[in-house]
Amino acid sequence: MNTADLWLLAWEALQALGAHYGPAIDHAAEGIGIPLGEWYGWLMAARIFEPYPVSAARLQMRAAYIAPARFDDSLAKGVQLGLLEPAGGTKRGEYHLTERGHRAIRRLIDTAYAAMSTLHPLPDADLERLDALLYRLVRASLAAPEPPGKWCLRIARHYDPGESAAAMVRLDQYLSDLDAYRDDAHLAAWQPCGVSGQAWEAFTTLWRHGPLTLDQLATRLWRRGHAQETYALALDELAVRGWIARDGDAYQLTDEGRSQREAVEATTDHYFYAPWSCLSASETAELSDLLVRVREGLAEALPEGQGA
């Protein structure tokens, strides 16, 4: 099987698993006074960075497409909720978890683990085998030569529950680890191009969905927190490089731009899949079968009307 198809299966399995415990986490967060969605993207990260403080700059190292102001707002909300406190010192915008913040994180983790422990999408032996194969990929990724760096992967590994954890919990960890390493690979592939994060995401959005007008582009990416004017400057940045061209009100990739974007995607794949050679052809086929089955088992176990 093509490794790209295999990763797609793994990513779909991760999404299917998250569909089971995500609502439970949201409910638990609301139960301790955290409004729906207010913990996304920063609360769990705050514990990962300890003993160093959490800040917009640190959060943006992986989430390079999100406006720093969006992170600043979230961290300020964390202070209002009593989950964070200023780190002190001369540098503003840095925070440590409060005792309430630590308790909230423990509550969310325990809730997720409890939700996963009730799931049985595969026989126990098959699930253990799937975990073993994925863990080999994680270890091979950690040991792979650079580039890419391992920052996102190592950060993700901070939440490793250990080998004694339930098989479904370990499955979630290993799939999340590989997702983080995919981010490492893509960051290593595109950042040498020397464009801003918002310009690169605009470029990718046009590659996947173009042609688009500025309004359409900004609407697709509004969750990132950038003003429309920021994307206008990003499009100018891309046009100067000859990667995109304007046709009326819409922007689309030039031949040069398409070649550039596809080259970066190929580099991403090269970095990401290089460690997967640790599996034999038969093991790769086995992994594919197990991922299909776990994905389908998780989908079937969802309550009616709830999708991944």
Average pLDDT over residues 268-293: 97
Average pLDDT over residues 21-47: 91
Burial of 240 (0-12, 13-18, 19+ CB in 10 A): exposed
pLDDT digits (tens, 9 = 90+) for 103-117: 999 999 999 999 999
Query: Long-range contact list for 75-84, CB < 8 A, 24+ apart?
Result: 75/42, 77/38, 78/42, 78/43, 78/46, 81/33, 81/34, 81/38, 83/34, 83/43, 83/46, 84/46, 84/54
In the chain, % of residues over pLDDT 90: 90
Q: Which tokens in the block code for residue 277?
A: 């050679």
Mean model confidence pLDDT for the chain: 94
Looking at residue 72, its pLDDT comes to: 95
Looking at residue 42, its pLDDT comes to: 93
Q: What is the DSSP letter of 215?
A: H
The architecture that CATH gives domain 32-118 is Orthogonal Bundle (1.10)
Q: Tell me how far CA of residue 181 lies from CA of 71, 101, 155, 273, in angstroms.
A: 22, 27, 10, 10
Closest CA to 257 of 273, 272, 235, 224: 235
pLDDT digits (tens, 9 = 90+) for 159-169: 999 999 999 99
In the chain, % of residues over pLDDT 70: 97
- Give 90's pLDDT tier (boundaries 50, 70, 90): low
Looking at residue 3, its pLDDT comes to: 78
Closest CA to 243 of 200, 188, 186, 198: 200
3-state secondary structure of 103: helix
pLDDT digits (tens, 9 = 90+) for 142-187: 999 999 999 999 999 999 999 999 999 999 999 999 999 999 999 9
Looking at residue 5, its pLDDT comes to: 86
Q: Give the rounded distance of the alpha carbon of 144 from its chain centre.
A: 20
Average pLDDT over residues 15-42: 91
Domain boundaries, the chain: 32-118, 194-261
pLDDT digits (tens, 9 = 90+) for 215-272: 999 999 999 999 999 999 999 999 999 999 999 999 999 999 999 999 999 999 999 9
Average pLDDT over residues 24-46: 90
The class that CATH gives domain 194-261 is mainly alpha
The greatest distance separating any two alpha carbons of the chain, rounded to the nearest whole angstrom, comes to 60
pLDDT digits (tens, 9 = 90+) for 72-85: 999 999 999 999 99
Looking at residue 306, its pLDDT comes to: 63
106 Cβ contact list (under 8 Å, min separation 6):
none
pLDDT digits (tens, 9 = 90+) for 117-129: 999 999 999 999 9
- Give 36's pLDDT tier (boundaries 50, 70, 90): confident
Q: Which helix (H) or strand (E) holds 296?
A: helix 281-301
Q: Would you tell me how many other CB atoms lie within 10 Å of the CB of residue 195?
A: 18
Average pLDDT over residues 283-297: 97
Q: What is the DSSP letter of 192?
A: G
Looking at residue 304, its pLDDT comes to: 67
Average pLDDT over residues 288-301: 96
Looking at residue 219, its pLDDT comes to: 97
Domains 32-118 and 194-261 equal at CATH topology level: yes
Average pLDDT over residues 194-204: 97
